[in-house]
């Protein structure tokens, strides 16, 4: 299977429960969700005129809407060139695509895998993949967060700036009908002071975890 890849690079995971883990990020192109605060809007569209050679998306901080069509086998070949053994598949919205083949092959070479998704599309992945759902409610694209995604999540990483965002999250959690152990992380949008204070207060009150986007404070990709 082929995937539209915006960039592949090695860094430290800066968000959620995996913060601090050396990771290879595979960023896929394409996302119709339309989050107003998205910091990767360049990944939203997959347009033929922006299709490039694989060499232009490897080990770069792309920040453009260029993408390369890479097979699972080619991605595996690239991943083997790095030291990290934890793979984060993000976007864009990675669950626009069936990730089962890719994540299965990555497991086969001894890598752990994680996907970061809005939860608005069916999650198709290897059963050992760690799933981070960052639920997006009321976004421009009009997509609903799927109960199946909430049930599959190992971690909910919820961006917040207001009390309404917390109310939205609590409503989503009531939809879950799974006994699977899951961690809830609150992530202040854009590290704004009030959002951070609200996240800290809410995490303490609910025994949730704070996610602070460490990579942005450290000025790394």
Say if residue 74 carries a ligand binding annotation. Answer: no
Identify the CATH number of the domain in which residue 143 sits: 3.20.20.70
Say if residue 35 carries a ligand binding annotation. Answer: yes
Say if residue 136 carries a ligand binding annotation. Answer: yes
Q: Which residues of the chain have pLDDT under 50?
A: none
Say if residue 111 carries a ligand binding annotation. Answer: no
Say if residue 132 carries a ligand binding annotation. Answer: no
Say if residue 113 carries a ligand binding annotation. Answer: no
Say if residue 38 carries a ligand binding annotation. Answer: yes
What is the tens place of the pLDDT at every residue in 23-37? 999 999 999 999 887
Whole-number pLDDT of residue 71:
97
Structural domains in the chain (count): 1
Say if residue 40 carries a ligand binding annotation. Answer: yes
Q: What is the pTM of this model?
A: 0.93
Say if residue 13 carries a ligand binding annotation. Answer: yes
Whole-number pLDDT of residue 220:
62
Whole-number pLDDT of residue 36:
82
For 155-165, b/e burial (b = at least 16 CB within 10 A) is: bbbbbbbeeeb
Say if residue 134 carries a ligand binding annotation. Answer: yes
Whole-number pLDDT of residue 81:
95
Domain limits for position 85? 2-217
Whole-number pLDDT of residue 63:
80
Say if residue 27 carries a ligand binding annotation. Answer: yes
Say if residue 14 carries a ligand binding annotation. Answer: yes
29 CB contacts (<8 Å, ≥6 apart)? 4, 5, 6, 43, 45, 46, 65, 67, 91, 92
């Amino acid at each position: 299977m082929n995937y539209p890849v915006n960039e592949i690079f090695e860094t430290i995971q800066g968000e959620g429960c995996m913060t601090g883990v050396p990771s290879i990020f595979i960023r896929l192109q394409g996302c119709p969700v339309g989050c107003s605060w998205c910091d990767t809007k360049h990944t939203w569209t997959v347009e033929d005129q922006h299709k490039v050679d694989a060499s232009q998306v490897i080990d770069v901080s792309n920040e453009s809407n260029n993408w390369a069509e890479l097979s699972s086998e080619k991605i595996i070949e690239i991943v083997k060139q790095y030291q990290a053994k934890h793979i984060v598949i993000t976007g864009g919205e990675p669950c626009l695509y069936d990730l089962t083949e890719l994540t299965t092959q990555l497991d086969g070479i001894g890598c752990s895998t994680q996907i970061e998704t809005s939860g608005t599309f069916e999650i198709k992945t290897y059963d050992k993949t760690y799933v981070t759902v960052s639920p997006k409610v009321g976004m421009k694209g009009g997509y609903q967060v799927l109960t199946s995604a909430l049930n599959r999540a190992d971690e909910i990483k919820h961006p917040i700036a207001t009390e309404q965002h917390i109310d939205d999250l609590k409503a989503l959690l009531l939809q879950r009908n799974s006994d699977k152990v899951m961690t809830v992380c609150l992530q202040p949008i854009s590290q704004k002071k009030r959002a951070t204070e609200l996240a800290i207060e809410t995490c303490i009150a609910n025994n949730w975890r704070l996610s602070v986007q460490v990579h942005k404070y450290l000025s790394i990709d």
